[in-house]
Structure 1
């Protein structure tokens, strides 16, 4: 069985704003979250650590990988969706800039693209291609995948069968995680989402 343990990065000062491909560092609360995450995963037989190239993920991954004496393998395809002109803005600010489009975006989520942003179709295709690659690297072992909430939601919806609302709730906490297990011979898929 090939196990992917998907982990959301730790908190940054942009918490509460649209932080897709912006690249802020982990803040003090985030460093405490990483320490708790490391303790929770200490007994997990992790054989490899893959991470998005954005520093909030790389920082999380490096601390996680250290007890296992593993390198972090950087994969740009694990980046969050690009929010375009909404990067760094709060929802309140977005509503002030264009309340009509903001309401349309909410009503059609996740199908309407923010101004100059990455479309959901392109983002989901990128995430699923990368997930297929990671499964090919698992080779009957557990690998940690440090990434972003949006990436994790795509996996939860597409491979695990969760609806958008549930996937959103499961990926809201920083340093949250879930396991996706794939049995390559029977095409059996299992998922374990901590409560």
Structure 2
């Protein structure tokens, strides 16, 4: 079976991981990824419970008419004490942490938050559930931290390196995973594919934020 991991569309706030609705750009991104995957025969769309993921799934699902299943385990990585802050304040208050994080010497949790391993442990059972579902094609609308950490697990990487998977994942990009029933293995077929957004530079993250937390 094929699982299409989709990062949620652009939300209407730049503050760190607050639960807000999509912006008008996010709604357009969601429609574009829905149209891009319209021919795949998606039978179910899973999403986290966060508003931006639920709305992305709903908008994209206009092209699929699939069952929508919400799983809290697919929520974004917890940024702990950083949540609700602007990037400038995060850069100033957590400078030492950011420097240590960049060294990738261990799977470092965000201050008061989660590490990559925490996300993998809560999210992977959902992917195993999808693999056992009998669906041929399913979409998972989730978050950048989840996509990067789960992909690192599927590639059998040490989770401390998960941040090398994409300097910045595009909103409504596609990461495709194939579950092979015979070998009982996941295969990563593509990562951060955003060809459907390229005709619209204003929809790319470079026009909105400079970096990821």
Q: Which runs of 4+ in 1 moved over 6 A?
A: none
TM superposition shift of 1:123:
1.7
TM superposition shift of 1:165:
5.0
Within-5 A mapping of 1:80-95: 80-95=76-91
1:115-152 per-residue CA deviation (whole Å, 9 max, x = no partner) reads 22123322221122222122112x15100111111111
Tell me which of the two structures has the higher relative contact order, counting C-alpha pairs closer than 8 angstroms and 6 or more residues apart: 1
Q: Does structure 2 retain, via aligned residues, the 8 Å contact 1:11–1:27?
A: yes
TM-score (norm 2): 0.79
What's 1:104 paired with? 100
Q: Distance in 2 between matches of 1:183 and 1:86?
A: 38
Q: Does structure 2 retain, via aligned residues, the 8 Å contact 1:62–1:71?
A: no
- Aligned to 2:39, the other structure's residue is in SS state coil
RMSD: 2.2
What's 2:142 paired with? 147
TM-score (norm 1): 0.85
1:172 pairs with 144, 147, 169, which one? Answer: 169
Distance 1:101 1:154, change over 3 A: closer
Q: Does structure 1 retain, via aligned residues, the 8 Å contact 2:33–2:60?
A: yes
What's 2:151 paired with? 156
Q: Which runs of 5+ in 2 are unaligned?
A: 196-213
Q: Distance in 1 between matches of 2:127 and 2:40?
A: 20
Aligned length: 189
- Aligned to 2:165, the other structure's residue is in SS state helix
Q: Distance in 2 between matches of 1:91 and 1:69?
A: 37
What's 1:10 paired with? 9
Q: Distance in 2 between matches of 1:109 and 1:55?
A: 34
2:114 pairs with 115, 118, 121, which one? Answer: 118
